[in-house]
Amino acid sequence: MAATEISLGEAKKDKLFYFVANVLVYREEDGRCLILKRSKREKAHSGRWATPGGKMEHGDFDINHPTRMNGDVIDFEDSIEDLLRRETKEEAGVEIGNEFHYINSNTFIRPDGIPVVLVKLAANYVGGEVVLEEGAFDDFAWVNAEEVKEYECIDGICEEVEKTVQLFSK
């Protein structure tokens, strides 16, 4: 029987993670990617340059309106892609398209012991002027693989910009 609510009652604790996705937004017209400067008020990586993204939450899904039923399993297809569309719109005001590429993954253990799975994808920019989420970011830039080196980025961003440009310019 399908579940009537999302619950961790039957979950095995040692297999539970927070989940975060980030996206490299690629602008085809000039071959550049969007980076955002995190606010100085942010606890983690304050003042450093990053990419849009966010954490998945149970509340993102209405269990009564799945995209598909799979026996007694309730499916929501393209969930990471949808998360990235929402976060990119919320954090930077821009829209991304349907072409997604996988960049890399990382698991990190926070100082409080919570394990986080981070997946990074790249997507094509389709429209919108950049409008930064107030309080979260102070500045933005569109950069290529050379230009990104001039910015004080979170570790790995330079390589990810380079990889994204390669993937989309094929």
Partner 1 sequence: MARQINLAHAEADKLFYFVTTIVVYRESDQKCLILKRAGDDAVLPGKWGLPGGRLEWSHFDLEHPDEVDGEILNFNGPVEAHVKELLEEKAGLSIGERPQYLGSVFFVRGDGTPSILVRFAARIGGGEAEAGGGFTDSAWVDAEEITQYDHVEGIDKEILKAIKLFS
| Site membership for partner 1, residue 100 (CB under 8 A) | yes
| Site membership for partner 1, residue 70 (CB under 8 A) | yes
x/- string (CB under 8 A) for partner 1, residues 137-166? Answer: ------------------x-----------
| Site membership for partner 1, residue 108 (CB under 8 A) | yes
Part of the chain binding partner 1 (CB under 8 A), chosen from 55-63, 88-96, 129-137, 158-166: 55-63
| Site membership for partner 1, residue 130 (CB under 8 A) | no
The CA distance from 74 to 66, in Å, is 6
The upper half-sphere exposure of residue 99, i.e. CA atoms within 13 Å in the direction of its Cβ, equals 11
Among 46, 47, 75, 152, binds partner 1 (CB under 8 A): 75
The CA distance from 135 to 40, in Å, is 9
| Site membership for partner 1, residue 65 (CB under 8 A) | no
CB burial readout 54-76, b (16+ within 10 A) else e? bebeeeeeeeeeeeeeeeeebee
DSSP 33-68: EEEEEEPTT-SSSTT-EE--EEE--GGG--TTS-SE
Query: Measured from the CB atom, is 109 or 134 closer to partner 1?
Result: 109
| Site membership for partner 1, residue 47 (CB under 8 A) | no
Task: Quote the least distance from Cβ 64 to partner 1, whole Å.
Answer: 11
